[in-house]
Structure 1
Amino acid sequence: MLLTPGADRADGLTDDTAVLSAMLSVESAWAGVLGDLGVLTAQQAQVVADACNPSRYDVSQLAANVESGGNPAIPVVAALRAQVAESDSATAALVHKGLTSQDVIDTAVMLIARDCAAQLQRSLLAAADAVADLAQRERGTVMTARTLGQPAVPTTFGAKAAGWLRGLDDALRAVSALNFPVQCGGAAGTLSLLETLAPGLAATAPGLLADRLGLTEPLGPWHTDRSPVTALGDGLTRASDILGKIAGDIVLAARPEIGELSEPQATGRGGSSTMPQKHNPVLSVLVRSAALQAPHLSASLHTSAALAADERPDGAWHAEWQPVMSLLTLVPTAASQAAEVLSGLEVHREAMQANVDAAMPALVAERRSVRPDESVSAADYLGVVPALIDRTLDAHATLRKELDS
C-alpha cells in the first residue's frame, strides 16, 4: 500500500482477503450446483456453504502454502475440505469435485472484476457528470487552444471539457459492456468427472453456476481462450487512457506560468517534504501514473493469451494474475481520484483571459490569412464550439438514461 497511493479507494476489493472470499464464494456456489445435480444432498451443500466463511481461514498461512501447488486454489480447497471434514467426512470428499483449480481462480477473478467494474463505472459517471457541468458552465470562457505545445486558435474551456466528456462517455460504454463469465470445464474442459457423477446433467452446470454467482454463462470453457481477461484489460485501459489525458491537461494548466486550473485543496494534500510553498496537483499526478502503467499491464495479458498452450496453460495463465489484479486496483482508484478532482476543479478565468490576451493577435492569424482586412477578437473566432458542446451534452444525457435503465 505504501507504494500504491490511494489504493484504499479500492475498498478491499482486490486484496488477499477479497481473493480468498471470492474463491470460497465459488466453492459454495459449486456445492449448490452439486446439490442441484443430485451429487450432494441439500444438507451436505449447506455444510459446505457454512464452511466457506472467510473468517475461518488464515490468509497468510494459505499464502505461504501456494508455492507448493503453484496456485492458491490447492491450499484453499485443502483447507476447505478440512473444515467440512470436522462436520462430515463423506461430504468433505466431494468438495470441489468436478472442478479444477483454474475454474475456481478464473471465476473468482471474474467476481472481483465485476465488483471493481461496478465501482469504476460509478466513479467514471461521477467524473463525467462533473465534466458535463463544467462544459455547460464554462461554454463561453475563452481560452487558448494549444497544438504541439504552442498557442493555436481560440477555444473555450467548455469546449475542452466537452472533449474530456466524450472520452469519459466512451470509457463508460466500454466498461458497461464488459462480460464476466464463469469458468467451468473441469480438468481439461470436458467436465468428464462431473458427467460421471451426474450422467446427462454436466452440460447444465456452467449455467447453474453462473446463476448462483450472478455471472454469465460462456459458450464453453475458456481455459486457453483468454478473451474475457484481455477484454477486461482493454476496457480498463480505455478508461485509464482518458483519465490520464484529463489529468495531464490539468497538470499542465496548473503550472504557475499558465495558472488556468487548480485541483481542489484539501488539508495536508499536495505538500512537499522539503519545500513549504508548494501545492502539487498530486491527485492528477497519481492518475497519470496509473495511465502510464495500464497499457503495459494490459499488453502482458495479451502476451499471456497468445502463449496459452494446449487445454490448460503452463505458465501463461499464472502470468496473468499480477497484471489483472494490478489493473483492477489501479484503474478504479484513478477514476475515484479523477472524480474528486473534477468535482472540485478550480477554473481561473482571469488567467485564461490573460493568456489569450498575451497570445493575440497570433490566435486569429488563421482567420486573417483569408480575411486580412477584417478585425476579429478571440471570442469571435470560435467556429462550431457551441454546437460541439451541445451535441456532447445531449449524447451524455442519452448515455446516462441508458445506464440508468
Structure 2
Amino acid sequence: MLLTPGSGRARHLTDDAAILSAMLSVEAAWAMVLGDLGVLGVDQAHLVADRCDPGEYDVSQLADSVESGGNPVIPLVARVRTAVAESDPAAAALVHKGLTSQDVVDTALMLIARDSTALLCDRLLSCADAVADLAGRERDTVMTARTLGQPAVPTTFGAKAAGWLRALDAAIRGLSALRYPVQCGGAGGTLSLLETLAPGRAIDAPALLAHRLQLTEPVAPWHTDRSPVTAIGDAIARSTDALGKVAGDIVQLSRPEIGELSEPVAEGRGGSSTMPQKHNPVLSVLVRSAAMQAPALAASLHTSAALASDERPDGAWHAEWSPFLQLLTIGPIAGGQAAEVLEGLQVHREAMQANVIAALPGLVAERRSVDPGPVDVSDYLGAAPSFIDRSLAAHADVRKDLAS
C-alpha cells in the first residue's frame, strides 16, 4: 500500500483476503460444532467445512455485496450455502444457523488479532533483546542527559537503553496477557435458536467453538461489552508508545549537530528526492508515525464501546472495524521497523564524549552546588549502573516467563 510504508512487514495478516479466510474459518468451525451438537451429521459438517475454502470465493465480488447488508457475513453465508447446496440442500439450510453476523466478524477479528499481536510481541522481544545488549555493552559510555531539550547531568548510553528496555518489557507483558474470546451469542446474545436446534446444549457451544479455533471461551456473549477489543487496542497503543520513545530519541540523537547515533545503512534507504547529501533516519520516522496514530485509533475504540447500545450496536460496532484493523496493521509494521534499527544501531561514542566535554562545566553544576571541588563526570552517574542491572534482570524475567 503506497501510503502505508512497510506494509509488507504486516505479512498480509489484516488485508481483505485475511479477513475472508478468518470468517470462513469461523463458519467451518461452527459447522463442526453443529456436528458435535448433533444438529448436522458428521458428513454434513465436514461437507460445510470443506466448502469454506477461501480459494473458492472472490474477495472483490464479495466486497461489492457488503453494503446491502452492512457487513460481509450476509453475502458470504449466501455463497457458502449455495456451494453446499450443490451436494446437500439439507446441510446448506443449516449453514451458519445459531450464529449471527456479529458472532462471525468478532470471532474472525479475534483470530486476526491473535496472529497480529503475536507477531508484534515477537518483534518487540527482538527490540528488547537488542536494547538489552546495548544496555550491557554501553553501560560505561558516558553521554549527556538532556532535560527540556537542554544538557542536564551526565548519564550513560547504557542507562538510556535500559530506560527503553523497561518500557518495551512492559509492553511485551501487556501483549502476552491478552485474551482472544470467541463471540457466540446468536441474534440477541441468548443462543435462542441454537437451544431450539439442540435442546440443553446451547451453553456448550462457545467452549466447543473456542476449542476448534484455539481461542478463549468467554463467560457469555460480549456483543455490547467491547472490552476484548479495547484491551487489544490499548496494548498495541502501549507498544507503539514504547517504540515511539525509542524512535524519537534516535531521530534526535542522529541530528548532525549531535551525531551520537545513526540508523544502520541500507542501500537506497534514507535518501531525499532533492538533496543528495541527506541520510534520513527514515525507519525511526515511520515508527514515530505509527506511535502518533495509535492513541487516536485506540481512543476511537473506546468511543465505540461507550456507544454500544441495546443487545447489538447500531453503528458503534461497525465503527470499530477500521481503527481496529489499522492498529493490528501498524503495530507489527512499527515493531519490525524498530527491530531492524535497534539490531544495527550505530553508536558514536566519540560524539557522545565530545558533547559531554562541550557541555562542561554546566553538566556537573548540580554536583558542584553541594561540593565545589573538581568533579569527574564518570564519578557523577548516581545509581545509573544499578538501574541498568535491575533492568537487565527484569528483562531476563520477561524472557523466562514467555518461555514457560
Task: Please report the TM-score for the alignment, with normalisation by the length of structure 1.
Answer: 0.99
Match of 2:346 in 1: 346
- State the 1:43 CA deviation: 0.3
Q: Which residue identity does 2:32 align to in structure 1?
A: G
Q: Which residue identity does 1:271 align to in structure 2?
A: G
1:385-396 matches, cutoff 5 A: 385-396=384-395
- State the 1:186 CA deviation: 0.0
Query: What secondary structure is seen at the aligned counterpart in 1 of 2:144?
Result: strand
- State the 1:105 CA deviation: 0.1
Q: Which residue identity does 1:172 align to in structure 2?
A: I
1:241-280 matches, cutoff 5 A: 241-280=241-280
**Distance between the aligned counterparts of 2:149 and 2:76, measured in 1?**
54
Unaligned 5+ residue runs, structure 2? Answer: none
| Count of paired positions | 404
**Distance between the aligned counterparts of 1:183 and 1:21, measured in 2?**
17
- State the 1:269 CA deviation: 0.6
1:154-173: CA deviations, max 9, x gaps?
Answer: 00000000000000000000
Match of 2:125 in 1: 125
Match of 1:402 in 2: 401
1:243-322 matches, cutoff 5 A: 243-322=243-322
- State the 1:83 CA deviation: 1.1
Match of 1:155 in 2: 155
Q: Which residue identity does 1:251 align to in structure 2?
A: V
**Distance between the aligned counterparts of 2:5 and 2:87, measured in 1?**
44
Match of 2:375 in 1: 376
Q: Which residue identity does 1:230 align to in structure 2?
A: T
Query: What secondary structure is seen at the aligned counterpart in 1 of 2:283?
Result: helix
- State the 1:378 CA deviation: 1.2
Runs of 4+ in 1 over 3 A off after TM superposition: none
**Distance between the aligned counterparts of 2:64 and 2:179, measured in 1?**
32
**Distance between the aligned counterparts of 2:277 and 2:93, measured in 1?**
66
Query: What secondary structure is seen at the aligned counterpart in 2 of 1:30?
Result: helix
- State the 1:388 CA deviation: 0.5
**Distance between the aligned counterparts of 2:268 and 2:83, measured in 1?**
47
**Distance between the aligned counterparts of 2:66 and 2:9, measured in 1?**
27
**Distance between the aligned counterparts of 1:16 and 1:65, measured in 2?**
14
1:224 aligns with 2:209: no
Match of 2:335 in 1: 335
Match of 1:108 in 2: 108
- State the 1:27 CA deviation: 0.2
**Distance between the aligned counterparts of 2:82 and 2:212, measured in 1?**
24
Match of 1:325 in 2: 325
Q: Which residue identity does 2:270 align to in structure 1?
A: G
% identical aligned pairs: 75
Match of 1:4 in 2: 4
- State the 1:86 CA deviation: 1.4
Match of 2:40 in 1: 40
**Distance between the aligned counterparts of 2:87 and 2:14, measured in 1?**
31
**Distance between the aligned counterparts of 1:78 and 1:285, measured in 2?**
45
**Distance between the aligned counterparts of 2:324 and 2:75, measured in 1?**
21
Match of 2:138 in 1: 138
1:331-356: CA deviations, max 9, x gaps?
Answer: 11101100110000000000000000
**Distance between the aligned counterparts of 1:104 and 1:38, measured in 2?**
21
Query: What secondary structure is seen at the aligned counterpart in 1 of 2:316?
Result: coil
Q: Which residue identity does 2:385 align to in structure 1?
A: P
Query: What secondary structure is seen at the aligned counterpart in 2 of 1:79?
Result: helix
- State the 1:209 CA deviation: 0.2
RMSD of Structure 2 on Structure 1 (CA) = 0.5
Q: Which residue identity does 1:142 align to in structure 2?
A: V
1:10-29 matches, cutoff 5 A: 10-29=10-29
Query: What secondary structure is seen at the aligned counterpart in 1 of 2:391?
Result: helix
Q: Which residue identity does 2:123 align to in structure 1?
A: S
1:251-270: CA deviations, max 9, x gaps?
Answer: 00010000000000111111
Match of 2:364 in 1: 364
- State the 1:87 CA deviation: 1.4
1:188 aligns with 2:165: no
- State the 1:380 CA deviation: 1.2
Query: What secondary structure is seen at the aligned counterpart in 2 of 1:154?
Result: strand
**Distance between the aligned counterparts of 2:347 and 2:378, measured in 1?**
18
- State the 1:7 CA deviation: 1.1
Query: What secondary structure is seen at the aligned counterpart in 2 of 1:187?
Result: coil
Q: Which residue identity does 2:207 align to in structure 1?
A: G
Question: Does 287-296 or 74-83 show the bigger shift?
Answer: 74-83
Q: Which residue identity does 2:326 align to in structure 1?
A: S
